[in-house]
Amino acid sequence: MDRINPIEEKLFESRQVIICEEIEQKMAKKVCSQLLALAATSDDDILLFVNSQGGHVESGDSIHDMIKFIKPRVVVIGTGFVASAGTHIYLAIDKADRYCLPNTRFLIHQPSGGIGGQASDIRIQAEQIVIMRKRLAHVIADATGQEFDQVMKDIDRDNWTTAEEAVEYGLCNKIISSVQDLM
């Protein structure tokens, strides 16, 4: 019989979820399961911490959509670095509920993929990346208040921002230093 990890149990009791790893399918299942379990337990707020180098876009989509799907309000705190698919998850939260710690860095960029196979398959994969780029640019524009065309330019290459720049751009609502700043 599996023993319950006391740290995970305490996080669940305090309605906190931590994403501190690469975004991939196994961790997306874990995070979505945590969100659903917390939503089934109560409608109280959920506090999500994000520190991720990014990863698989569709895995990030699962978490992004689940945050929007559940009834409880989710508040997010970025810490370390919030990059790529990690930023996509971060932007699922209403702007008023997006915070970061002072040393957080953010990365937005266009998606990339490992393209291989026959020429026709490569063409299809490239077309899908273009479609995904536009979809993600719309998410960023809607979440930040930036114009779509500006976002398309901004994600043409890696676009790193400091916490202060993230607030200015509209990625983050407020930089905080302690839990008291949330009150």
Residue showing tokens 């040393």? 103
Taking each helix axis as running N to C, give the angle between helix 6-13 and helix 25-41, from 0 to 180 degrees, rounded to the nearest 10. 50
Q: State yes or no: is 14 an active-site residue.
A: no
| Distance from C-alpha of 164 to C-alpha of 170, rounded to nearest angstrom | 10
**Catalytic residue chosen out of the listed positions 52, 59, 64, 109:** 109
Q: Which residues on adjacent β-strands are paired with residue 55? A: 23
For 84-112, give the DSSP string: THHHHHHTTS-GGGEEE-TT-EEEE----
Taken as a whole, the chain contains a residue count of: 183
| Residue from 135, 116, 119, 158 nearest 58 by CA | 135
Residue 173: phi and psi, rounded to 5, are -80, -45
Q: State yes or no: is 138 an active-site residue.
A: no
**Catalytic residue chosen out of the listed positions 62, 64, 84, 88:** 84
Which residues are CB-contacts of 13 (< 8 A; sequence separation ≥ 6)?
none
Q: Which residues are catalytic?
A: 84, 109
